[in-house]
Structure 1
Amino acid sequence: MNLKRYKSTLAPVLRIGAAAALIAALAGCVGTSRPKPAELPPSVALMGIKQAWSIRIPAVNFPLSTIVNGDQIAVASGDGVVVVFDARAGTELWRANVGAPLAAGVGSDGKLVAVVTANSELVALEAGKVLWKERLTAQAYTPPLVAGRRVFVQAADRTTSAWDGQSGRRLWSQQRTAENLVLKKPGVLLAVGDTLVAGVGGRLVGISPANGSSRWESPIAAPRGTNDVERLVDLTGSVSRQGDVICARAYFASVGCVDTSRGALLWTKPAVGADGVGGDDRYVYGTEDSGAVVAWRRTDGERAWQQADLLKYRILTAPLAVGRSLIIGDATGLVHVLSREDGSPLNRLNPDGSAIAATPVLAGNTVVVVTRNGGVFGYRPE
C-alpha cells in the first residue's frame, strides 16, 4: 500500500468505529518525516505592502475558514469565540462565545453568523448574541453556508440540511451514501445562482435549496485503490469561481472545473495537494504537497507555469489572487507574496511567527491573514 502521500495529513477521519483503529495502525506505519523545507533566499520587496491594523482573538486550533461580506469579516477561535469586524479600520463590531470548542466555521451573510461545535451543534448568532442551537446528525467540518435567510450544513455522514435562519427550524435534510472515511477538513459548500453546490466525495453536486433534491452531479475525481484510505477522495478547501464556473480540488487527486449552469465537467487534471484553489479569469492557482505553486489555464486545464523550488516542502495554504500577486500562507508563520505571472517572489511577511491558520482573504483593498496564535492582520499595498 502506498502511504507516502498521506504522511502529512493523517487527519482523515472517523465516521465509524473501525476507522479509528485503521487510522491508528496507519499512523504507526508512516515513519518517514516530512523533508525539511528549502532555505529561502533573502526577502525581496518588489511590491510594497504595509500592515494597516491587527486584532487579537484566542488561539485558532481548528480548520478555520474566514468569511467576507463586503468590508465585514467573521473569524472564530478554537474555543468558541466568534468575532465580526470591519476590515477598513480593523475595528471590532461584536464578539460572542458559543460556549464550546468549534469544529467548523465561519459561515455568514453579513448579518447572521453560523458555526458548528465539536459536539455537533449548529449555532447561529446575530449582533453578538446566540439566536439558537440545534443538534446535527453527525459532526461537520465544512463551514455552514448562510444564504437566503437560511443556514445550510453538510455533515460528515454526507447529510445536507437546511435550517431557518431566525428560528432554527430544520427545513429539510437529504442523506447520500457515506464512505467509511471522510476528511477532517473544510469541504465545498456554496451558492451559485439558485443552486446549492456541494462537494460529495470527489463530485460537485447541484442541489435545490428549496427541498434538497439533486439537480446534477459532476465528478472531479473518482475513488481508487483497494482499501478505505487509498480510496478516500473528497473535495477540499476554497474554490475559484468565475461566473457559473467553479474550479475545485479533490484531495491528493486532481483539480478540475465544472460549469454549474448545466452540471458539465469542463476539465480535470492530476494534482497532489491537500488544500483548495484560488484563481482569476485566466488561471486557477494551487499549492501542492511538495510546496510547488501551480497555475492551470482556466479554459482547458493545461499548466501555464509552475514554481517548484522556492517553497519546496513547505506546508502552504491555498493561494489568494489579488492585483498582480498571489498571497500564500505558510505553516512556519510566513506569508509569501508571489507574481501571478510566473510565481517569482515579490515580498514576504511575518505576522506574528505562528502558523497561518486559514487561506488569506480579500476585503475591499485589505488582505486579511489569521494566525494560529489568534493574530488577525490587515495588509494593504503601499
Structure 2
Amino acid sequence: MSDISTPDIVLRPLDSLDADHFKQLSSAPPCGGQVATLLLPMEKKGAETRKNRITFKNALGDLREQLEALGMKQGKLAVALRGLAPLDAPTHAFWQHQREGLAMILREDGRIDCFGLPFRPDAYVHLGETPYLRPLARLIGGFEAHVLVLDLDRVRLFRATRWRVEEMELQHTPLSLAEAMATDDPEKSLQQRTVSSSNLGGEGGATTAFHGHGITGDETRRKRARRFFEQVENGVRATIGKLELPLVLFGPDDEVGLYRSLNHHPKLCPGDIRFNASHLDRGRLDTMIRDWMAERDAAQRTKNLESLHAGLAKGGALDRIDEIVRAADNGRVSTLFLQTGARRFGVVDAEGATVHPQPEPGDEELLGRAVRTVASQGGDIHFLAADAMPDGRPAAALLRF
C-alpha cells in the first residue's frame, strides 16, 4: 500500500514498530497540550468502504463531546480539528484505500499523523496528554525471519513478520534453473565440490530423502538443480549478511531437501513448509507466509503463558495492576499480558500506583503506561481474550528477576 495523501493528511502503512519508534509516537508533544487519538476499524473492498467515512464521523462526534465535557469546545484542539474537514467529502479517495484499521493522532498545533494498520482495532477515541497507541504494541517484536521460496522456475527471498512480507532482491544470482544453465557448466562445477555427509539433512545431520516427481526423476536435471541451488545459497548468504534472523524454507519436498543439504545458515529452521509455489500469485504467497509466521507467534505466546502460570504459582509473576505498573517502571517485567480492550485508570507517584474504580481528573490509563514502559525496555507484549487471561484478569506480567 502506497501513501494516500490529501492536503496536510498523509496515510502511511504501518506494519512494524521497534521500541524506539513506538516510544516516539506515544510521547507527549514537545509543546504540551491535549492529543486526540482515533482508532478505527476499516473496510477494504467495494461498497463496504462507504462505511469508513461514517465510522470516522461518529468518532469525531465522540471527540467533540469529550472536548465539550472538559470545557475545551473552543480550545486549540477543537480548532485543529478543522484540518480533518477535507475527509468529510462522501467520495474522498482516502476512504477507498484503507487497510484493516486506521490510527489517527491529532495535536493542538494541527499536526495530523495517520497510519493504516494490518489488523482491525476496536473503535476507540481517546483524549489526553499523550497519544493512546496501546493496541499498536502488537506490531512490536514477534517472530521475524527470512523466507526462501524454492522453485526451479523462480526462487524468491522475503523478510517476513506476521504483519509484513517484503521481497528482497537476490543480486548477481540466477533466479531459475534455466537462467543458471544459460551461464554455467554444471558438470565442471560438480567435479570441484563434494558435499560432506555432515551437511546432509540440515540440523542434526539427518539424511535428506528425495521422493516424488520433480528433480529426482532425471539424474542430469538433479545435478543441474544442485549446481543452481549452490548459486542460490551463495546469493542468499551475500544478501542477508550477518545471518541474524532465522531462515525458513518454503517449497516442494525435492527442492527443499536438496537445498537443505547445501545450506550453511546457522539459524536454518528445522521445520519446512512443503508445497509447490509455482502456481501461487504474490498475494496468495504473502498470505501463506503471514499465516505461518502467525502460527509461530501463537506458539511463543502459548509458551510464555505456561511460564506465566508457573510464575504466578511461584512468585515470579504478577496479576495486580498497581504492582505490574511499579514493576514495569523498575524494569522488572519481561513479558506483559493484556486483556484486549481492557482499560484501567489511576495515578502513579513515588509511593506506587493507585487504581480508581472510575476515571478521575488527573488519572492516566495505567495499562497504556505499562505497555509504553515494557516496550521501551525490549519486553514482549501479548494481547489476549478475557477467557485466556489468568482468572480473567485485565493484566498479568512475567518478571525478569
- TM-score over 0.5 (shorter chain): no
From the two aligned structures, give the one with the greater helix fraction: 2
Q: Who wins on radius of gyration, i.e. which is larger? A: 2
Q: TM-score range by the shorter chain?
A: under 0.3
TM-score normalized by structure 2?
0.23
Structure having the larger proportion of residues in strand: 1
